[in-house]
Chain A
């Protein structure tokens, strides 16, 4: 399947005569399904460029609002004291590149495109509260610890001069929703072309149904979910008793 896709691309690359686009890329599967046996997954991004250059891939999960709490000692106990809310925080952020980022692009470009987890910018609701810097750093560090932010989720490797491929790793706790993968072509310290493509991560099957009922907007399905949960437990408890009853 993957080999076939690469072949198709190879054909495309060879056939494309002085294409207007400097880079074309695709994902082997635009839908990642989370089933009950999901334990993380690698997705394959492949493509071609129209001549020598470097390639950077950036994967972003749907953005949302996140509160960062800081603990302080209060009467001997550590409690959540100050907290700052950040907007537009990507639920997942990962970069893959053909060479280390700082070797391919100057700092100001990396900053402008927010390439690398150290360069991400988050909006705050309040205007720059005191000590916000440490909260920003903490946010990135926590996300990193959870395996959701990474500077190297994979390596972009070249096959010949124009074909490239990269495996991007999605951790088992990957958030769901529509992801965006940006692909950049870099030459001489400048981004010369870019493309983006969506990637949908969604729960399917039994687990998805459970989630749907458990989080339904109206109360009736949630009531049904609770009742079913109790019935399952009653049944397992009863079966367990039957199984282990002393005869």
Chain B
């Protein structure tokens, strides 16, 4: 009975015009919902999960990446509005990050189309994911473990007074700016640089890059954690939007329909994730997120190293000689 119902629901197929395949609507909504739930729970965009999943269900990698950028616009908008209503967005910092990000996106899209021409884009996407997720996952895991221990110690009593942020060499660079909201007086070079690097990755991997910006802004720049998430979402909207437009023009791989269906699923999932996330302590969330990121990295790494089922793959070429 239930199986028949599920079959009936799964029978609703949508033909994705750019990806050029027909997929169950329910499957897409489920993917969007599941990833949305996790992204709401952890306060990240979820692009780093969605892109590998899309590739797994048969969407060409180039389409998965570019479409993910499009979907990121939608999820970031609904995310940033929620943070804005709680006054957790530093717009000035957002614009500074963004100025680097847009430039990075330009470089990323150009790189993307060069690699695609050489037939190596899939490999580069995979390796970049493994390195990025692996190193971030490990760093977060180490940090979250330390934080969890600290919390336990604090509960027992002794708690050393903590500085607002550490002063490191980064703060000594020229071009100093005052960021009132973040209570910072620092060089703009660091946030611009972070924005630039994330912009490249955003175009190359289809990720918003929150999982990179958030730790970088906390640990390298010393921004308050509460404001970082909203601010990074704010700048991601623009970088993802620019990336979407550039990918459409240069690589023709944005599938609007796919992005739309995924978005519907993910905004709903994100609501539930966000509500549960609000009840969990931050250290635990970071610990769980680190585990999630690491497991994706390990999975992708296994895919690179394990002997593939099929050593051959086909690539349709434009026109004939």
Task: Determine if chain A interacts with chain B.
Answer: yes
Is there an interface contact between A80 and B77, defined as CB atoms closer than 8 Å?
no
List residues 131-178 of chain A with CB under 8 A from any CB of chain B. Answer: 135, 138-139, 141-143, 145, 172-173
Q: Does B264 sit at the interface, judged by CB under 8 A?
A: yes
Q: Does A44 sit at the interface, judged by CB under 8 A?
A: no
A70 CA / B11 CA spacing, docked (Å): 35
Find B13's partner among A37, A211, A232, A233 (CB 8 Å cutoff): A37
A223 CA / B247 CA spacing, docked (Å): 9
Residues in A with CB closer than 8 Å to B304 are 77-78
Given contacts A87-B320, A229-B256, contact A38 B314 (CB under 8 A): no
Is there an interface contact between B22 and A237, defined as CB atoms closer than 8 Å?
no
Q: Does A35 sit at the interface, judged by CB under 8 A?
A: yes
Cβ distance A122 to chain B, nearest Cβ, rounded Å: 12
Q: Does A228 sit at the interface, judged by CB under 8 A?
A: yes
Is there an interface contact between B14 and A78, defined as CB atoms closer than 8 Å?
no
Given contacts A78-B308, A229-B254, A236-B74, contact A210 B17 (CB under 8 A): yes
Cβ distance B259 to chain A, nearest Cβ, rounded Å: 7
Is there an interface contact between B259 and A233, defined as CB atoms closer than 8 Å?
yes
Interface-located stretch among A16-24, A48-56, A112-120, A214-222: A214-222
List residues 65-79 of chain B with CB under 8 A from any CB of chain A. Answer: 70-71, 73-78
Interface size on A, residues (CB 8 A): 65
A91 CA / B11 CA spacing, docked (Å): 26
Q: Digitize A49-87: 1 where CB-to-B-CB distance is under 8 Å, 0 elsewhere.
A: 000000000000001111111111100111110010101
A225 CA / B164 CA spacing, docked (Å): 46
Cβ distance B17 to chain A, nearest Cβ, rounded Å: 4
Interface-located stretch among B94-102, B119-127, B153-161, B212-220: B119-127
Cβ distance A36 to chain B, nearest Cβ, rounded Å: 5
A245 CA / B314 CA spacing, docked (Å): 47
Is there an interface contact between B21 and A142, defined as CB atoms closer than 8 Å?
no
Residues in B with CB closer than 8 Å to A39 are 11, 13, 15, 22
A123 CA / B314 CA spacing, docked (Å): 16
Is there an interface contact between B312 and A210, defined as CB atoms closer than 8 Å?
no
A244 CA / B257 CA spacing, docked (Å): 23
A224 CA / B127 CA spacing, docked (Å): 33
Q: Does B128 sit at the interface, judged by CB under 8 A?
A: no
Is there an interface contact between A236 and B260, defined as CB atoms closer than 8 Å?
yes
Is there an interface contact between A65 and B317, defined as CB atoms closer than 8 Å?
yes
Q: Does B7 sit at the interface, judged by CB under 8 A?
A: no
Given contacts A67-B119, A70-B311, A210-B256, contact A233 B77 (CB under 8 A): yes
Find B77's partner among A223, A226, A241 (CB 8 Å cutoff): A241
Residue of B nearest to A38 (CB): B15
Residues in B with CB closer than 8 Å to A211 are 17-18
Cβ distance B238 to chain A, nearest Cβ, rounded Å: 10
Given contacts A37-B13, A207-B15, contact A85 B317 (CB under 8 A): yes
Is there an interface contact between A234 and B73, defined as CB atoms closer than 8 Å?
yes
Q: Does B244 sit at the interface, judged by CB under 8 A?
A: yes
Is there an interface contact between B13 and A172, defined as CB atoms closer than 8 Å?
yes
Q: Digitize B224-246: 1 where CB-to-A-CB distance is under 8 Å, 0 elsewhere.
A: 00000000000001000100111
Q: Does A8 sit at the interface, judged by CB under 8 A?
A: no
Q: Does B280 sit at the interface, judged by CB under 8 A?
A: no
Is there an interface contact between B78 and A238, defined as CB atoms closer than 8 Å?
yes
Given contacts A234-B77, A237-B75, contact A125 B254 (CB under 8 A): no
Find B245's partner among A173, A210, A230 (CB 8 Å cutoff): A230
Q: Which residues of B contact A (CB under 8 A)?
A: 11-18, 20-22, 70-71, 73-78, 81-82, 85, 119-120, 123, 127, 237, 241, 244-249, 252, 254, 256-257, 259-260, 263-264, 267-268, 271, 304-308, 310-321
The 7 lowest CB-CB distance pairs between A and B, nearest first, are A237-B77, A226-B248, A226-B245, A138-B312, A240-B267, A172-B22, A233-B73
Can you report 19 A-B residue pairs in the complex whose CB atoms are below 8 A from each other? A36-B14, A64-B319, A68-B312, A69-B315, A79-B123, A80-B119, A91-B316, A138-B310, A138-B311, A142-B313, A173-B20, A173-B22, A222-B248, A226-B247, A233-B73, A234-B241, A237-B73, A237-B76, A243-B267
Besides A211-B18, A234-B74, A237-B263, 13 new A-B residue pairs in contact (Cβ under 8 A), listed by A number: A63-B320, A65-B320, A69-B313, A80-B119, A83-B119, A85-B317, A87-B321, A210-B18, A228-B256, A229-B254, A236-B260, A240-B77, A240-B263
Q: Which residues of A contact B (CB under 8 A)?
A: 34-40, 63-73, 76-80, 83, 85, 87-88, 91, 125, 135, 138-139, 141-143, 145, 172-173, 203, 207-208, 210-211, 214-215, 219, 222-223, 225-230, 232-234, 236-238, 240-241, 243-245
